[in-house]
Amino acid sequence: MTPTTTLPAIMPFHPPLRSTLSVRDALLSKQEIALLDVREEAPHALGHPLFAANLPLGRIELDAYSRIPRLSTAIVVLDNGEGLSTLAAQRLHTLGYTNIAILEDGLSGWRAAGGEIFQDVNAPSKAFGELVEARVHTPSLSAQEVLALIESNADIVVLDARRFDEYNNMNIPGSVSVPGAELALRAGALAARKETRVIVNCAGRTRSIIGTQSLLNAGIPNQVHALRNGTIGWTLAGQTLEHGQTRCFGPVTAAVQQQAAQNAFKLAGRAGVRHITLNELSVLRAQPDRTTYLFDVRTPEEYRAGHLPGFACAPGGQLVQETEANASVRGARIVLADDDGVRANMTASWLAQMAWEVYVLNEPEPATVFCETGHWQPPCLTAPCVDTIQATELASWLLADSEQKNTTLLLDFSGSASYVRGHIPGARFVLRSQLTSALKQLPEAQGYVVTCDTGRLSVYVVDELQRLSGKPVTLLEGGTQAWIAAGLPLETGESALVSPRIDRYRRPYEGNDNAAEAMQAYLDWEAGLVEQLRLDGTHGFFVLGQSESEHN
């Protein structure tokens, strides 16, 4: 793990350029490379290379060490002409990275060189899911067919493979929350009769396909089908969803777990997954020229109760769905752990098919090695020493400032969705990546106070804002959460947006007010991903059960 450090003085850094052809050659030869799109998520989703991981400029100090743990990794940063790449390269250099380049001519250069451009987020995982269905013809049922089964009281269970919060927001009537990696472990208990038909759904297509195929690959005796097009298809069919449900999987018997573990182990072996001991893992981690990611694929609740030191929390279903957001170095190694022999092997079987070098830790004994508790604490830069203010003091200060017109401005660097849900009265929303342009739009100020949800991001803004403005800047200690904990009031809504809300791409399957045209366009886009994979040619994916002639 990279040790935390403090920022040294900023020194001029002039990174070299790297061509699209060179990056493609690295991907094709399976060299380690981190291709980073440093724009905000919304412009990233409008178009990027297949394996470009989104690491926005404003979050580099928080996320770089966990997503690119080896400082000598080959890094190539890109933008679309906004000038963010140079700033990102400087910040990465300051963090200690030693092999940084800028993609020549950015996104337009990639396109001009014939590189394929992918839209949306998690494009590699979604494209892989479509490839799975195309190659092995994963069985599915339409929304109308599933509704007919429900209304006829057929012997079925509907298992929702998304995160629980997504399920809780909206779900197929009567369905149960069983996030992706849990399916092979839990389905045997939820569909104990082999005559019970299992329906797997997600919001769109990918997790339904992967979840259904997981159960089929694991040898479940039941009939299994994906709900074609998920909750989007259900909505487009004019059918009603439930909201606020909390049905969730329960415990499984030892016999169910043991059978699932045997099946998962065999499946992982078929996919080329390797199994290692803790001692062998130590050898891998000691190799200075390779990146090794460590992920615990169990539920967040299990992780917090006890986990292996150095392993990040990455529930398996979402790890397969969001691989590049967790492991941003293509060509790196991934080591997975669980305590049941099912979830790690199932997750590994998919990652291996997605051309990752994957290992599973041989059934570690939880009582002896799952010795750390609590949330994952990613390695990051030690926060710089800055002037701070407590929440109650800030409240008095802002009141006095408004009466005396001293024009101290409060800037909030939280995510825009969090800002809209609740922010300190009078706070202005600013994206860190847009700070220079935001200052030009703000009224003249004698000084600034900065905040974000927790203060972890805004602490890095203090020096930057002081340099740009020449004015004193103070950090709200503990961020907006400290303000809330002090019982102080919040505003809601888009009351003062200085920067555009481009930090998060609005998925067509989120919320309950999506336009039918947007949902259908999303489904059409997913259906076209297999052809895009063919045109791109860098993926290296294979699918268990496909013919040899289809492997490329």
Tell me which fold the domain 263-369 belongs to: Oxidized Rhodanese; domain 1 (3.40.250)
**What's the half-sphere exposure (Cβ side, CA atoms, 13 Å) at 94?**
18
Cα radius of gyration rounded to whole Å, the chain: 24
**Residue ranges of the chain that CATH labels 3.40.250.10:** 17-121, 127-245, 263-369, 388-485
Strands (DSSP E) found in 284-365: 292-296, 312-313, 333-337, 357-361
List of residues 6+ apart from 168 with CB closer than 8 A:
177, 244, 245, 246
Exposed, middle or buried, 280 (CB in 10 Å: 0-12/13-18/19+)?
middle
pLDDT exceeds 90 at position 194: yes
For 408-412, what is the mean pLDDT?
Answer: 95
Which tens digit of pLDDT belongs to each residue from 319-348?
999 999 999 999 999 999 999 999 999 999
Residue 111: pLDDT band with limits 50, 70, 90? very high
CATH 3.40.250.10 fits 17-121, yes or no: yes
Helix axes 183-190, 343-353, angle to 10 degrees: 130
pLDDT of residue 46: 96
pLDDT of residue 513: 62
Identity of the residue numbered 70:
R
Question: Out of 3.40.640.10, 3.40.50.150, 3.40.250.10, 2.40.37.10, which CATH number does the structure's domain 388-485 have?
Answer: 3.40.250.10
- Tell me which residue of 464, 453, 466 sits closest to 424, measured CA to CA: 453
pLDDT exceeds 70 at position 447: yes
Which tens digit of pLDDT belongs to each residue from 234-286?
999 999 999 999 999 999 999 999 999 999 999 999 999 999 999 999 999 99
Helix axes 254-271, 183-190, angle to 10 degrees: 140
Name the least confident of 30-39, 61-70, 358-367.
358-367
Dist. CA 528–CA 45, nearest whole Å: 16
Distance of CA 29 to the CA centre of its chain: 25
Q: At the fourth CATH level, which superfamily is domain 127-245?
A: Rhodanese-like domain (3.40.250.10)
Which tens digit of pLDDT belongs to each residue from 5-57?
344 445 678 899 999 999 999 999 999 999 999 999 999 999 999 999 999 99
List of residues 6+ apart from 144 with CB closer than 8 A:
237, 239
Dist. CA 204–CA 126, nearest whole Å: 10
Number of other CB atoms surrounding residue 549 within 10 Å:
6
For 478-507, what is the mean pLDDT?
Answer: 95
